[in-house]
Structure 1
Amino acid sequence: MGAMNELIDRAAVGLLVRVLTDASPGTSWTNVTAAGGALDHLSLRGRTDHVSQGLLADIAGAAGPRGKYPTAARIFRRALKDADFTGWTLWPVTETAVTLALDSTESGDFDDCLRLLAELTPRLTGEFAIRRLLAADLDRALAVVLTWTAHPDEHVRRLASEGTRPYLPWAVRIPGLIERPGATIPILDALYRDPQEYVRRSVANHLNDLARHSPEAVLAAAAAWAAEPDGNTQWVIRHGLRTLVKKAHPGALALQGFAPASLKVTPPRLDRSVVELPADLAFEFEISNTGSDPARLAVDYIVHYMKANGSQSEKVFKLAALTLHPGETRTVSKRHAFRQMTTRVHHAGSHGLELQINGVRYAHTQFLVET
């Protein structure tokens, strides 16, 4: 994360001050300048909040009789004329706009802030800042966001899907988005056939988020899309249902044509019985279709990791999607990396490797990991 922190550094804040000075020459940006010189040891989120506090202080000093939010919105819109008004320093800008809009007593500032985020998001996504507007008034915000699905700019259309994801990485959770899984389905319905992959990928990730707590709503949406597809719809559905397929959800498997099949599956053959970190574990196995019909197969594998307390936890990994004709046998191979990472710490001891095909588990094989 260290390199990510440097996305907002002294130089970036200095450029932001130059742009804002050109946009509002009469405003003193001393607090923002000071914030730019005090970023060491702060995370990216911490730097965002620190610079935003500087912006809030300087805008408070410049605010006219109309109030702080209109002053900020006017300056930020003027700054958009400058091509240098871009990059990660736009994150504190968007957070500042939202803070002022939510503090405002003028009702129209809420809707104008949504419009401002749509104007700013082509320079840097407003997906994080919009979360607080959603939390403050979900229905009001979603009504505006839904109109963005027809926006000519792909960044604004993506913001409609990405900003409303229930489990958006790095972002605060919005309870209403989790409690009301159907609230954002109209947005996804409008975007699943978007011409831009950038937008379609967000739709798929959003659908996958919903699958964590509302699989039936997800399957209903995916089935409706499958009934009115374009050339990219199957990819969107497959990517959006990936977690349900890993969990062997019957409805998700059936929707993608992964029906129960008559199979013979050999136990996975490992290239070693002891994995000394760091290393790759290679394995292969054979699948035979013993039935009388072609078999469309979702082939996954499961690693049973040793935990610090001596128990095991499993994680499912995608391997392949393939079709076997009656009597056909296919050899499948894979290399799985074992590396110590911040997101996964490996512990010495007995591990397991298991195959999962169309939701059915086969052949659990044990091996040791030494750290």
Structure 2
Amino acid sequence: MQIAERLGKIPPYLFMELRKKINKAKAEGVDVISLAIGDPVEPTPDSIIEELCRQAHVPENHRYPTDEEKGMLAYRQEVARWYRERYGVTLDPEKEILGLIGSKEGCHHFVLACINPGDIVLMTDPGYPAYRSSILMAGGEPWNVPILPENDYLPVFEDIPSNILKRARGMFLNYPNNPTGACATRPFLDRLVAFARETGIAVCYDNPYGEMVFEGQERLSFLMADGAKEVGVELNSLSKPFNMTGWRIGMASGNQEILAAMSKVKENTDSGIFNPIQYAGIHALRHEGASIDRMRAIYARRRALVLETLKKIGINFEPPKGTFYLWVPVPAGMTSLEFTNRLFEKTAVVVASGTAYGQYGEGFIRISLTVPDDRLAEAMARIGKEFA
């Protein structure tokens, strides 16, 4: 039996490998604490669950989803209201918003909609590994754009070789950034639009952590920049702000031509989002803004605990102010993998090696704050004791 060659180009998915490692240790009786995966442990707010249950009892909602692959108009209208009130961005629900089964799906459909085999797609290094997989599955060629601490983890467009730009047709960007936690600025977004106009590159701006920012950091959408809708789309999700990772509901917004192409991919791939989940999404966007503030306060408290522990063991740094991750420099004289392995072997604490996100992730690890307070406190106690 023949298996498609494209699958051989795709590296093992980081988090699947981590789960295997964790499960093996647990099976051996080890009390493992994982700080490696960004999956909120706090439950989805009760009112959202109640809306899902109420709508699930409506027989009409058991049929194919309303408006199928586009997402029901009521959901898209609520997304438009959310963007207008949160970001000051005006969107046409009919043409400039597309419902998604989570933003990860949007990454894949963006590439299938915009990229031909052999086209280059730019992505950051370090960066979210799933972008590379989507590019490769569509027959595109990923090209890494370094993002470095000295540039506040923002790409320097002028450093991209001209021969690469001639073949580049798309670019993935993600701010607040996974894994670094770095945030974009308004001037950067303006430069991004200018760069995309000059090169003809379609931008896919992945923004699922847009609400996960700390004190002093402005919430930003790519679509706030003048001309953004002319050059790209923004992906967003209800997963992080409302603790709905398993619900799989998000949206793509922006350029009408790109969204129409993504919609064509979707109509030949899936049948849309289950209606009760869309109604629950409407309720979340309309009524649960306070839960976002509550979660930000929880993550800020956990963040302070981790930073305090790291400072005590000699790792002192000023972290960026976005996401529920910390991008932590490893102790002098150790590689990312060496530090990751030592933590696991000596403390049974799992973190993600920076090199899992690209070659420029060397020298860092990523710590997730999406664990219960008591488990995080235990993990910090173990680390503090090991490196005291």
TM-score of the superposed pair, with normalisation by structure 1? 0.21
Greater radius of gyration (CA): 1
Specify which structure has the bigger relative contact order, considering alpha-carbon pairs within 8 angstroms and separated by 6 or more residues.
2
TM-score of the superposed pair, with normalisation by structure 2? 0.21
